[in-house]
Structure 1
Amino acid sequence: MKKLFLLFIMMILISCGGAGKESSSSGNTKIIVNETAEPKSIDPGLLTDQSGIAVNSLVSEGLTRQGKDGTPEPGLAEKWDVSEDGLTWTFHLRENIKWSSGEPVTADDFKFAWLRVLEPATASEYAYMLHYIKGGQAYNEGKGKKEDVGINVIDSRTLEVKLERPTAYFASLAASPTYAPIREKFFDEKGKNFALEADAMEYSGPYKIKNWKHDSNFIMVKNENYWNKDHIKIDEVEMVLVADSTAELNAFNNGEIELIRLTAEQYKRYEKDPRVNVFRNNSVWYLEYNMENKFLANKKIRQALTLAVDKEEMANTIVKGTGEAAYGIVPTGFPGESKTFREENGDSYPKYNPEEAKRLYKEGLAELGVTELPELSLIINEAGNNKKIAEYVQEKIRTNLGANIRIEPIPFKERMARLQQKDFEIVLSGWGSDYADPMTYIDLFVTNGGNNHSSYSNPKYDELIKTANNSSDNKVRMQAMRDAEKILGDDMPVGVMLYSTRVIMLNPKIKNVYFKGIGAEYYLYDAYVE
């Protein structure tokens, strides 16, 4: 999923002592991938962050799986049927598929896992991803019964899913971690320890976690019971948790690392290097305003803070090569009615306008009955380009409005915890796509939504999201989402800043590593070392 609250993460592939070196213990090919922080959770029903999604993509597989371009492919289900009205999806599981423990994977494992996500007591932030299932939202909100949720086990290899409304992209949804299976007996045996240690999970994907040293690394080895194990060429993947981009670049130049993600500053030095690859990753970055703060609850103050930042200058100088100015919550490239969503909706957010920002700021202060804002805190994750972006935002707001912003760099886990507790004033946040439809961004800010940390609420916006979700007419869906984005651009619970791009420097010895903008950021399924 792509989280959910994305960071500017440096994704790297390393091999011990260089690409293609043999593992000292087994003689098998080993690579090392890097994440900047330990996942908040690797429980598929609870994970929300990019690190957790990265781990899950290697050790877990659902009915479908995301291919190298993010589109769904058959996973544990070899095929599926869709009824003529689009409301009933029937998934047919492969023969003899097994968990890493050797136990069979059955349709019951999916039903158990999905109902657990929807159970109110689970408090899954991504439960809304299963609201497409008939009765799912009602059960999740305590207004319906578990027995009425449209998940039916026909037999051990056949799962029937009834939807609230036709959802053409349901196969893409089914590839997300939230839809991954869990075996009920194993879950009950582990109890509160489930997914907290390497041996407290069963694995349905290409790899299984052999060792997990918290805040240090994961060691994942090929899952001998994975149905397509012969296709997997990399025998061991180690995921280390390192945030120092300078050390990574030095290691690359020393031949110790084969693939790194460059920061904006590093890209300036290596822009013409033939080993550099630049491409979009479908993430949008924004300033999220906590509307429980009485000053930020004022619409004109939020508008002023956003309009005071020159996004074009930021993209061209501060994050050159790693971001482009954003004027809508949906990034470039997502499908619309007949063109892309971005082409059809134009700019939903206004461009840099310091004079208008000053006018709105003055009026907002008057409405609040104050002559100046108190110093506001901007929390950021410590890694990547975040500090440079925050410093640029801080200076533009000070210069154009005379308002003071205090930058507060904190560890990733603390930042996530404070978001969930709504213990912040402004946060530099982001979102990446979970599936290939604009709705993956548009529904983020519905009232009481699991990822609506700003506490934003607008009945008209909610109604438009409902219309888009309930219609099988793509024209109606897209118009509702376009209108909803325009409302978001006016109310500004978030100040959209940038669409992120990746800058990757790759050693050509590593083949068939793909980077994508949906779900996990890197795709190792076809990878091998030459």
Structure 2
Amino acid sequence: MVRSIKGSAIVFVTVLLVWTTLLAGCAKKSNTGGGAGAAEQKLRMLIASEPPSLDPGLAQDNNSSTVLRPIYDALTRLDEKGEPKPAAAEKWDVSADGLKYTFHLRSNAKWSNGDPVKASDFEYAWKRALDPAMTPPAPYAYQLYYLKNAEEYNTKKMTDASQIGVKAKDDFTLDVELKSPTPYFLSLVSFYTYFPLNEKAVKANPAFAAEANTMVTNGPFLLKEWKHNDSLTLTKNPNYHSAADIKLTEVNMKILNDAGTMLNMYNTNQIDWAGRPTNEFPVDQLPKLKQDKNMNLQIKGIASTYYYEFNTKAEPFDNAKIRKAFSLSIDRKSIVDKITLGDQTPAHGLVPPGIRGETKTFREEVKDDYFKDDVAEAKKLLETGLKEKGYAKLPAVTLIYNKSEAHKKIAEAVVDMWRQNLGVDVKLEVQEFGVYIKNRQNGNFQIARAGWGADYNDPMTYIDLLQTGGGNNNSKYSNPEYDKLIKDTYGTSDQGKRMKTMAQAEKMMIADMPIAPIYYYTGIWAQKPYVKNVFVDYKGDVDFIHGYIEK
């Protein structure tokens, strides 16, 4: 009897082991085949600072953009190569002359409060950003000037908003009319100034974007929690029109701007993603980190430029020769070789590599040989500029930058170059990000650290940055000839003519030197091997919309 029981037990255990093995095999197959598997679908990352604004009409920085893009659905969404794909609009028609677009919205799209997403939500949001009475004004209102009569309305040359080239034909059809053909318009409408807004929610609470529980959004993720100056938590939106394609259930964004702490958190498995787009690695440790296979460090060129901007309305930088002297006395190669150490390249133009040109990239077709680092020439320019201003010596100068170890090291190196090469002393002032942004917007600076990444894949996203009156033209640069070249570019869809005109504009602007380009960025980040299908796109933004965790 005992023996019989023992034999049965052996048989039972054997069957159990076989069954368990089969189940394990099925689970493994499910894990690899389904993409997400049984792993907890939570992504942990950092952003460098509190987002200054999560109002799509007011946002203008990387931190805000990183939060906004997953919680809103624009008409299109860009893929890794910058190609526009259907998002809130499932399809569209374009007229033969390139002036009229008809967007057909998804009929099953909903806002987080249950309202259907309608064409009128886009019309309302775009006209709101263009409204000259909007307070504060939308810094990116000029990005909507492609619409017929948009600029005229925003600049008060006309008062009838119904004449702006955007109209909800019905609940799910949006008609758009442009003032001139715009080859990159489908890319442009993926940008956050073109996001829709729930009119009912905005009008009920003008401060709708200040707290998580008052935001009504339509993207693949919802802003579940916002602990100000601490963290933001995003959760999967179950009512998203393509919810079945979203694997991550939660994305936690801890607010932290300390490279050393970030590195420690990554190495101790407290975060899954470190670095780009909002944080930077300790630059002095980059050579070692590149060799550390456990870091899984990634570096790639992105369409973004690092530069210093001069306030052309503030002394002494209201003088072009003094601006040029400061720029030409910077040793850019030394900065990328000895300071930044992330495979960046020196910049002598504004448009970075990777942006489309006519047949190749713009930077391949138009070389950035507008000037060269030249200390001797810089000294001559400074001497002439001082005489033109009537200065016996240069007045006090301050360079502001936002908190970052990399920004600090670059600023210290540049200030030392100015001291050695020009014999001038420049004071450094580090500022909290929100304060730094406001001071640049309000012109409360002489020199400021700056950077610009692509809003869409065309040189114009850089060239029109410095047009007169532009919402992001912090240098307050104004040149009627430059503005005319921009308008001429807007007025043609001939790619050859467009590129030639934008090259002329870039050359003209660099000759006036309202900015001092320093280097073209690379995207530097680390991701755990189990983080799948999350990528940094051509312009340096992180996209985790279709990401998942596989362990």
- Confirm or deny a common fold (TM above 0.5): yes
Does residue 271 of the first structure (1) align with residue 290 of the second (2)?
A: yes
Q: Distance in 2 between matches of 1:495 and 1:416?
A: 18
Superposition pairs of residues 396-411 of structure 1, within 5 angstroms: 396-411=417-432
On the 8 A contact 1:78/1:93 being kept in 2, the answer is yes
How far did 1:64 drift?
0.8
Give the equivalent residue in structure 1 for 2:241.
Answer: 227
How far did 1:506 drift?
2.3
Question: Which residue identity does 1:391 align to in structure 2?
Answer: E
Give the equivalent residue in structure 2 for 1:174.
Answer: 189
Percent same amino acid among aligned pairs?
Answer: 41
Superposition pairs of residues 104-503 of structure 1, within 5 angstroms: 104-122=116-134, 123-144=137-158, 145-190=160-205, 192-261=206-275, 262-274=281-293, 275-321=296-342, 323-503=344-524
Q: Distance in 1 between matches of 2:344 and 2:180?
A: 36
Moved more, 368-377 or 382-391: 368-377
Which secondary structure state, in structure 2, belongs to the residue aligned with residue 212 of structure 1?
strand
Q: Distance in 2 between matches of 1:96 and 1:254?
A: 42
Which secondary structure state, in structure 2, belongs to the residue aligned with residue 195 of structure 1?
helix
How far did 1:320 drift?
1.1
Give the equivalent residue in structure 2 for 1:19.
Answer: none
On the 8 A contact 1:290/1:454 being kept in 2, the answer is yes
Q: Distance in 1 between matches of 2:46 and 2:266?
A: 13
Q: 1:46 aligns with which of 43, 55, 58?
A: 58
Q: Distance in 1 between matches of 2:273 and 2:164?
A: 45
Normalized per residue, the structure richer in helix is 2
Q: Distance in 1 between matches of 2:282 and 2:489?
A: 38
Q: Distance in 2 between matches of 1:483 and 1:499?
A: 20
Q: Distance in 2 between matches of 1:186 and 1:370?
A: 56
- TM (norm. structure 1) is 0.93
On the 8 A contact 1:232/1:526 being kept in 2, the answer is yes
Q: Distance in 2 between matches of 1:84 and 1:267?
A: 51
Structure with greater Cα Rg: 2
- The structure whose RCO (Cα within 8 Å, separation 6+) is larger is 1
Question: Which residue identity does 2:519 align to in structure 1?
Answer: L
Give the equivalent residue in structure 2 for 1:521.
Answer: 541
Q: 2:112 aligns with which of 62, 78, 100?
A: 100
Q: Distance in 2 between matches of 1:216 and 1:400?
A: 42
Give the equivalent residue in structure 1 for 2:14.
Answer: none
Q: Distance in 2 between matches of 1:146 and 1:399?
A: 56
**1:83-139 residue CA offsets vs partner (Å, 9 max, x unmatched):** 001000000011221011111001111111111011111210101111101111111
How far did 1:28 drift?
5.0
How far did 1:273 drift?
2.8
Q: 1:85 aligns with which of 97, 101, 123?
A: 97
On the 8 A contact 2:45/2:274 being kept in 1, the answer is no
On the 8 A contact 2:302/2:354 being kept in 1, the answer is no
Give the equivalent residue in structure 2 for 1:13.
Answer: none
Moved more, 285-294 or 414-423: 285-294
On the 8 A contact 1:289/1:426 being kept in 2, the answer is yes
How far did 1:384 drift?
4.2
Which secondary structure state, in structure 2, belongs to the residue aligned with residue 250 of structure 1?
helix
Question: Which residue identity does 2:514 align to in structure 1?
Answer: P
On the 8 A contact 2:302/2:353 being kept in 1, the answer is no
Aligned-residue Cα RMSD (Å) equals: 1.4
Give the equivalent residue in structure 1 for 2:74.
Answer: 62
On the 8 A contact 2:533/2:548 being kept in 1, the answer is yes
**1:400-445 residue CA offsets vs partner (Å, 9 max, x unmatched):** 0001111101110010010111000100111110000000000111
On the 8 A contact 1:322/1:503 being kept in 2, the answer is no
Q: Distance in 1 between matches of 2:239 and 2:505?
A: 46
Q: Distance in 2 between matches of 1:147 and 1:155?
A: 15
Q: Distance in 1 between matches of 2:193 and 2:273?
A: 29
On the 8 A contact 2:356/2:458 being kept in 1, the answer is yes
Give the equivalent residue in structure 2 for 1:72.
Answer: 84
How far did 1:375 drift?
2.5
Moved more, 237-246 or 364-373: 364-373
Question: Which residue identity does 1:71 align to in structure 2?
Answer: E
On the 8 A contact 2:76/2:189 being kept in 1, the answer is yes
> Paired residues, what number?
503
Q: Distance in 2 between matches of 1:385 and 1:482?
A: 31
| Structure 2 runs not aligned, ≥5 long | 1-38, 276-280
Give the equivalent residue in structure 1 for 2:525.
Answer: 504
Question: Which residue identity does 2:441 align to in structure 1?
Answer: Q
Which secondary structure state, in structure 1, belongs to the residue aligned with residue 238 of structure 2?
coil
On the 8 A contact 2:40/2:549 being kept in 1, the answer is no
Which secondary structure state, in structure 1, belongs to the residue aligned with residue 272 of structure 2?
strand
How far did 1:32 drift?
1.8
1:408–1:349 Cα change, 3 Å: farther
Question: Which residue identity does 2:267 align to in structure 1?
Answer: N
